[in-house]
Amino acid sequence: DQHEFLLLQNGHALLIAIEERPLIQIDPEGNPNTTVIGNHIQELDENGMLVFEWLCWDHINLEDSYIENQDVLELDYIHMNSIAVDYDGHLLISSRHLSECTKINRQSGDIIWRLGGKNNQFDFINDPDQISSQHDFRPVPDKPGHYTLFDNGTQKDPKYSRAVEFKLDTVNMLAEKVWEYRQLPDRYSRLMGNAQRLPNGNTLINWGDPTLPKITEVTEDSIVVYEADFTPAMINYRTFRFEFDGFMLAPNLVAEPYPDRVRLLFNKFGDKGVDYYNIYGGESPEPLVWIDSTSRTWIDLSDLEASTFFYLEVTAMDTSGLESPPSKLEKVYVRNSEPGDNLIINGDFSDDQNFWTHKNDRDASSSGSISDSTYLFNIENAGLVASDVQLYQSNIPLIEGKEYILELDARADAGRTINVELESAGSNRINYSRHGHSYITGQFTHIAHTFTMQKPNDLKANFVINGGGSDIDFEVRNITLRQTVISGTPQKLRSEADFLCYPNPANKELNISFELESTSDIHMQLFSLTGQLIETVYRGRQDPGHQEIIFDTEKLASGAYMLHLSNGSFSNSRVVLIQH
Domain containing residue 32: CATH number: 2.120.10
Beta pairing partners, 204: 196, 217
Q: Which of 345, 342, 348, 344 is nearest to 476 (CA)?
A: 348
pLDDT at 175 over 60: yes
Distance CA 207, CA 420 (A): 34
In the predicted model, what is the mean pLDDT of residues 173-193? 95
Distance CA 81, CA 100 (A): 11
Same domain, 88 and 176: yes
Same domain, 16 and 88: yes
In a domain, 240, yes or no: no
Residue 106 to residues 53, 54, 148, 294, 554, Cα–Cα distance (Å): 9, 9, 21, 57, 40
Same domain, 324 and 383: no
- Per residue, the 3-state secondary structure of 23-92, as one string, reads HHHHCCCCCCCCEEEEEEEEEECCCCCEEEEECHHHCCCHHHCCCCCCCCCEEECCCEEEEEECCCCCEE
In a domain, 247, yes or no: no
The residue range of the domain holding 281 is 252-334
Lowest mean pLDDT among 17-26, 94-103, 138-147, 521-530: 521-530
Same domain, 505 and 478: no
| Cα torsion 244, 506, 224, 520: sign | negative
Residue 508 to residues 153, 201, 354, 580, Cα–Cα distance (Å): 38, 16, 49, 8
In a domain, 79, yes or no: yes
In a domain, 530, yes or no: yes
Same domain, 194 and 328: no
In a domain, 121, yes or no: yes
Q: Which of 370, 260, 361, 248 is nearest to 314 (CA)?
A: 248
pLDDT at 429: 80
Same domain, 59 and 207: yes
Same domain, 510 and 474: no
Better pLDDT: 530 or 90: 90
pLDDT at 573 over 80: no
CA max distance for the chain: 89
Distance CA 493, CA 206 (A): 40
Per-residue pLDDT reduced to its tens digit, 48-76: 999 999 999 999 999 999 998 888 899 99
pLDDT grade, residue 531 (50/70/90)?
low
Distance CA 204, CA 148 (A): 11
- The count of domains in the chain is 4
pLDDT at 496 over 80: no
pLDDT at 535 over 80: yes
In this structure, are residues 476 and 346 in contact, taking their beta carbons and an 8 Å threshold?
no
493 DSSP 8-state letter: B
Distance CA 154, CA 148 (A): 18
pLDDT at 439 over 90: yes
The C-alpha angle 331, 334, 335, rounded to 5 degrees, equals: 145
Same domain, 550 and 435: no
Distance CA 370, CA 377 (A): 9
242: Cβ contacts below 8 Å, ≥ 6 apart: none
Mean pLDDT score across all residues of the chain:
91
In this structure, are residues 375 and 349 in contact, taking their beta carbons and an 8 Å threshold?
yes
pLDDT at 233 over 80: no
Distance CA 175, CA 535 (A): 34
51: Cβ contacts below 8 Å, ≥ 6 apart: 12, 43, 44, 45
| Cα torsion 205, 210, 213, 214: sign | positive
Same domain, 478 and 515: no
Last residue of a domain, one of 429, 455, 483: 483
Distance CA 544, CA 551 (A): 20
Distance CA 443, CA 219 (A): 59
In a domain, 83, yes or no: yes
304 DSSP 8-state letter: S
Same domain, 186 and 301: no
Same domain, 527 and 395: no
Distance CA 158, CA 182 (A): 13
The C-alpha angle 307, 429, 432, rounded to 5 degrees, equals: 60
10: left (phi over 0), alpha (psi -120 to 50) or beta: alpha
In this structure, are residues 460 and 531 in contact, taking their beta carbons and an 8 Å threshold?
no
pLDDT at 430 over 90: no
Could you tell me whether strands 74-76 and 35-44 are parallel, antiparallel, or unpaired per DSSP bridges? parallel
Same domain, 13 and 92: yes
In a domain, 522, yes or no: yes
482 SS3 class: strand
98 SS3 class: helix
In a domain, 245, yes or no: no
Distance CA 564, CA 456 (A): 8
Last residue of a domain, one of 483, 507, 528: 483
pLDDT grade, residue 493 (50/70/90)?
very low
Q: What is the CATH number of the domain that holds 316?
A: 2.60.40.10
347: Cβ contacts below 8 Å, ≥ 6 apart: 408, 478, 479, 480, 481
pLDDT at 273 over 60: yes
Per-residue pLDDT reduced to its tens digit, 342-390: 999 999 999 999 999 999 998 999 999 999 999 999 999 999 999 999 9
Q: What is the CATH number of the domain that holds 408?
A: 2.60.120.260
Q: Which runs of consecutive H residues, i.e. helices, occur in 405-550?
A: none
